[in-house]
Structures are given as C-alpha cells and as structure tokens.
Amino acid sequence: MTASFGLTLRRLRESRGITQKALATRLGVCAQYVSAVETGSKPFLSAARVARVGSILKLTECEIGELQTSQFDGARKLAVGGRCSTRQFEFAAFVAQCAHRLREGKIADLESRIRKSLVTSSR
C-alpha cells in the first residue's frame, strides 16, 4: 500500500478535527495502527473499514470515492504499465491483501482466503 491512502486519510481526518486516537477508538483499532496507515507502513485493506471511516468522518460521496480510489493505489502499481483490466486489478488487490496477512503472521487466515478465492474463480 502506498502512502497516498494514508495521506488522504490523514487530510480528511484532520479536516474534521478528529484525532488518530478518536478515529481508532471508533474503528476498534489502536491509535498506532491508524498512525501506521497514515504513514503508509501498514495497509488499510478492509472495504468495510473504509466505509466505516466515511461514516465516522461524515465524508461526502466525492471524499469517499477519493479515499476508495487511493486505497488500491498499491494494487494498481502491480499492473504492467499502470493499465489493467478489472479482473487484473482485483487480483492485484487480492495479492496485496495476502502479502499483508503474511506480514502479520496470519497464515491460516491467508490459506482460507486463497481457498475461497480458488473456489470462486473456478465457478
């Protein structure tokens, strides 16, 4: 995940006058995680969490779109030449999520997600 998501999140959070700690509390995560996301050292991969941030910060549709777009910048950069089909983009996002789970040591969770993905793609 690139820092652009984190920078976008920080800008939107600060424009609402909400601290990292307050946002973290409402999201059910620690403030250190929000800080790591904002600096780009941790990915923020849950679409549900992005929607929750939109609700907490009372974002406009345009701002939510901006946040969602920046969320997958890292996945887009995996595509050759920066252009890819929707399917390729989804796969790149999936790979980014898997890499995050590996870094966190969530091997069983990763294995489960890969199995589900293989079943879904074979249909």
Structural domains for the chain: 3-71 (1.10.260.40), 79-121 (no CATH)
Report how far residue 49's alpha carbon sits from residue 53's, in angstroms, rounded to the nearest whole number. Answer: 6
* Number of residues that make up the chain: 123
Give the Cβ contact number of residue 86 at 10 Å.
Answer: 7
Number of CB atoms found within 10 A of residue 5's CB? 25
Encode the chain (123 residues) as per-residue pLDDT tens digits: 445 888 889 999 999 999 999 999 999 999 999 998 888 887 776 777 888 899 999 999 888 878 877 766 555 444 444 555 666 667 767 777 777 667 667 777 777 777 777 766 655
Which pLDDT value is given to residue 79? 44
pLDDT score of 70:
74
Q: What is the per-residue pLDDT for 15? A: 95
- Closest by Cα among 72, 67, 7 to 40: 7
Residue 118's pLDDT is 72
pTM greater than 0.85 (yes/no): no
**C-alpha to C-alpha distances, 36 to 13, 29, 39, 100, nearest whole angstrom:** 14, 12, 5, 13
